[in-house]
Homo-oligomer: A and B are copies of this chain.
């Protein structure tokens, strides 16, 4: 009572002349003691300023923290400001929250000032996106559940969409009307840093199972199917999915002489597509008459505007929900494949 330090369960027990076990039970197992006693304990606890068992001690003892970590391959700054990642996180958060768990955010490519350290406090890990290196993953406590989203870890349950099929679908739609000069804008496709046209100089990233490569493949099959030689289709690359990084590349594309300027832009993301749309609007290029644009993701920003973006929607929130449910063991750990849906907007009717 005259203590400076936070009151502990033991203190409270002493104060109330009951054993520590009884206090613990009052908080954790209501059926283990009489309602009256429990009532009294809870009331006294509040009065004396004891706000329940300490989480650190409890987690040490029980081995569980009710904390789930999401490891974001991209930086936290990027992820939090990216609509797709945010939706994913909100799906995760929703499920965790509903089951009394909380969300710890870990950067994959961090300042690495410290080893993860505090990370292994989590009961489980959701890894979102291909990690830049496996160092962090290696350090993850084995024996703890791990779910991989949007990429594969050998032997791990995963949540995916079929990127190739989805991008094939949208490209196929766009090719209903055959373009004169189609072009593709992709994301982080080259080994070398390249913000601009991908040429013979560049080598594509080896990993063929990246989202980037998968979507490119979808675009290419649809093009081939229409008899287009994919080698002739200009391919542009962008290093980060943000307006700032995209816009100079898009400007370069749109500012070509009109006879070289594409009339169809297959974009790997809505962010790229929206940037293209904005820049086209600024230049007075009419969409879709002079330039058709397709996106990928189906983020709100593309749908709640005029003209609406033509794109393929992936259910990022759903992805998050499924991943969280897997981690919590509420659905079987498996390889989940989520559906996508064509969104026919105005930018490529």
Interface residue ranges, A against B (CB under 8 Å): 6, 49, 51-52, 54-57, 59-60, 63, 65-67, 76-77, 80-81, 83, 86-87, 89-90, 93-94, 97-107, 110-111, 113-115, 117-121, 139-143, 243, 247, 275, 278, 281-282, 300-301, 304-306
Contact = CB atoms under 8 A, between A and B. Distances in A.
A51 B119 CA distance: 11
Given A56-B65, A100-B117, A114-B100, A87 B94 contact: no
A110 B97 contact: yes
A49 B143 CA distance: 12
Contact of A282 (B99, B143, B306): B306
A93 B63 CA distance: 27
B117 A66 contact: yes
B54 A56 contact: no
Contact of A65 (B97, B113, B118): B118
B306 A281 contact: yes
A100 B76 contact: no
A330 to B, nearest CB: 14
Given A86-B86, A141-B51, A98 B113 contact: yes
B139 A51 contact: yes
Could you say how many copies of this chain the assembly holds? 2
A55 B117 contact: yes
Given A51-B139, A278-B305, A304-B243, A90 B77 contact: yes
A139 B114 CA distance: 31
A278 B306 contact: yes
A110 B95 CA distance: 11
A77 B87 CA distance: 8
Contacts of A59: 56, 60, 118, 121
Contact of A107 (B56, B97, B114): B97
A93 B275 CA distance: 26
B93 A102 contact: no
A66 B6 contact: no
15 contacts: A52-B117, A54-B60, A56-B56, A59-B60, A60-B60, A66-B118, A67-B121, A76-B103, A80-B90, A99-B113, A100-B113, A102-B106, A103-B105, A104-B104, A301-B301
User: Which of A102, A106, A120 has the most chain B CB within a 10 Å cutoff?
Assistant: A102
A245 to B, nearest CB: 12
Contact of A54 (B90, B120, B282): B120
Nearest to A51: B139
Contact of A90 (B55, B56, B81): B81
A201 B120 CA distance: 54
Contacts of A121: 55-56, 59, 65, 67, 121
Contacts of A97: 76, 107, 110-111, 113
Given A6-B143, A60-B60, A141-B6, A105 B93 contact: yes
Contacts of A115: 52
Contacts of A304: 243, 247, 275, 278
A104 B76 CA distance: 13
* 6 A-B pairs with least C-beta separation: A100-B114, A76-B93, A55-B121, A80-B90, A77-B90, A243-B304
Contacts of A56: 56, 59-60, 63, 65, 121
